[in-house]
A and B are shown apart, each in its own frame.
Chain A
Amino acid sequence: MAAVGKTHATRWAVVNIVVVLYALFPVWWIAALSFKDPATLTDGNYIPRDWTWDNYRGIFETSEFTRALINSIGIALIATVIAVILGTMAAYAVARLRFPGKRLLIGMSLLIAMFPPISLVSPLFNIERIIGIFDTWPGLIIPYMTFSLPLAIYTLSAFFREIPWDLEKAAKVDGATPAQAFRLVIVPLAAPGVFTTAILVFIFCWNDFLFAISLTSTESARTVPAAIAFFTGSSQFQQPTGSIAAAAVVITVPIIIFVLLFQRRIVAGLTSGAVKG
């Protein structure tokens, strides 16, 4: 039996290592590129022979990247905050209240979740130019929060439905005012769901490329994914590979941190909305 158990465990270990390699290899590859100096860039090695920070120094010296990084962070954060606030309100109503039009709301947000962003790019491009928010932060924040609202509403209403609302009653009988019941009992229970949703929405906004290249034209609102695509080498003959790799690593770091710290929550958030419905 022991031998069987051992081969079994070995087989699982192999399978799991394959999975981990599958997931990490492209990330490792671009990270390795980012630490190579131009001379060894094309050696195809998985591990840089000469480690260098030059690529990072290079991108942080240009406003092209730093400005984009600030834009990315600011736009994603603001869009996340607004989407989560609006989403929380709507999700509370969906999970807890009875009112006509609820199905309409759910249907509408579903429609938007499936909406092809390219369909909105042309009209938004024109509208934003007309009202003067093209190539500004609000010009990106508005579509981001809109497209992440369905995600926020689903995930949050799934979390809210899990809260045992008997507790609200119990708090009332225990002598709490409705405000106290909300603050002392409901908020602490809802907070993890709200937090998880915020992470998912942030990743969504952080990730966008199509809106970012369509609705910006200068550094003033261009986010990192868009900026990377416009990177050019410092001379006509030099490829911007090193810079792109370094910038790519910089914007991947926050994602890795989120994933490492909140793995369990992200999995719960991603699956609850979709399956429990």
Chain B
Amino acid sequence: MSTMAEPKPRPEPKPGKGGRARSAGAQQERRLGWLLCAPAVLVMIAVTAYPIGYAVYLSLQRYDLRFPARAEFVGLDNYGAVLSSPFWWDAFWVTLFVTAVSVAIELVLGMGLALVMHRTLFLRGTVRTAVLIPYGIVTVVAAFSWQYAWTPELGYLAELLPSGEAPLTEQWPALWLIVLAEVWKTTPFMALLLLAGLALVPEETLKAAMVDGASPWQRFTRVMLPLMKPAILVALLFRTLDAFRIFDNIYVLTAGAQGTGSLSILGYDNLFTALNLGIGSAISVLIFLCVGIIAFTFVKLFGAAAPGAEVKR
């Protein structure tokens, strides 16, 4: 299990007279460890740390791709422009809405799905296979499927609505449909994470609670949920961060029209439609900061443990 407990740092080997052989071994082990990690670390630094630094640098420039020669240092002007723009705030609230609503629905549905997968004996393999499909399917494909389902005169779902309604062309219905597409695609992943958490609840503890007179609901809320808390928090953290960068579904379903664009869509549009590298980079950096704040809040406020934070040996 992941916990916040950090393994105590072992005292560094002090090379003593008799301990030389072992120290050499430890040193060798250390060198091998670094050697094995080096390629992965170098790649990760080169492709993420360096670019994000470069993005900060770009965000301080006036840099329009149509007029690259006119690039100049403008300090925080780009940030000022972004943060005072209604486009940023609209996209920010849309992103927050979609994130909060879809993660909340996923948690409830995912828990139900996890319980079904955990308890059922009938068709167990089929159910597990089936729920992996939304997880594995290409998001764009699923998004097109939803888009066609809701397109008037084409889709089965649009037919259920009064004729003349085109939900994807109105802000609120479209937002809900985005949430729906997001929920469909990622609930299985949430359910699988929760299922793994469920497996950690000892059957005997539940039996004990039953003998102690707890109702099914009490067993769920008083025994299962507290024991699953670490798994739930990890799942929530994962999904919240993932939902916050939502792009594919919105791009296909509405392309961000009618006030349905997320922050990622905004950044993309500024870069590739407006071709403004300076503003686009400022948006990139701001999104990065938002994600950092969310992660920090989760870890500090709820004590969610980073997966892999504890390494036992």
Contacts and interface: CB of A to CB of B under 8 A. Distances in A.
Interface of A: 9, 12-13, 15-16, 19-20, 22-24, 26-27, 29-30, 33, 41-42, 44, 46, 86-87, 89-90, 92-103, 105-112, 114-127, 142-143, 145-146, 149-150, 153-154, 157-158, 161, 203, 206-207, 209-210, 214, 224-225, 228-229, 241, 244-245, 248, 251-252, 255-256, 258-260, 263-264, 266-267, 270-277
A259 B37 CA distance: 31
Contacts of A120: 47-48, 51-52, 55, 284
Contacts of B55: 119-120, 122-123
Interface in B176-202: 184, 188-189, 192-193, 195-197, 200
Contacts of B119: 12
A275 B37 contact: no
B245 A106 contact: no
B306 A209 contact: no
Q: Which of A116, A127, A146 has the most CB of B within 10 A?
A: A116
Q: What 3 pairs between A and B have smallest CB-CB spacing? A: A99-B33, A271-B196, A277-B2
B126 A20 contact: yes
B141 to A, nearest CB: 4
Given A19-B113, A209-B248, A241-B148, A225 B310 contact: no
A276 B146 contact: no
Contact of B138 (A12, A86, A87, A206): A206
Contacts, number: 324
A57 B281 CA distance: 42
Chain B interface: which size bin? 35 or more
Given A124-B51, A209-B251, A248 B133 contact: no
B137 A255 contact: yes
Given A23-B130, A112-B44, 16 more contacts: A13-B123, A16-B116, A20-B123, A29-B148, A46-B156, A86-B40, A90-B40, A103-B6, A106-B311, A119-B285, A119-B291, A121-B271, A122-B58, A126-B54, A263-B132, A271-B193
A170 B309 CA distance: 30
A73 to B, nearest CB: 13
Contact of B154 (A90, A118, A241): A241
Contacts of A154: 307-308
A97 B184 CA distance: 41
B122 A146 contact: no
15 contacts: A22-B184, A44-B154, A86-B40, A90-B41, A97-B29, A103-B6, A115-B291, A116-B291, A119-B287, A121-B267, A123-B54, A126-B58, A245-B148, A267-B132, A275-B1
Contacts of B52: 119-120, 123
Contacts of B100: none
A224 B40 CA distance: 28
A116 B79 CA distance: 18
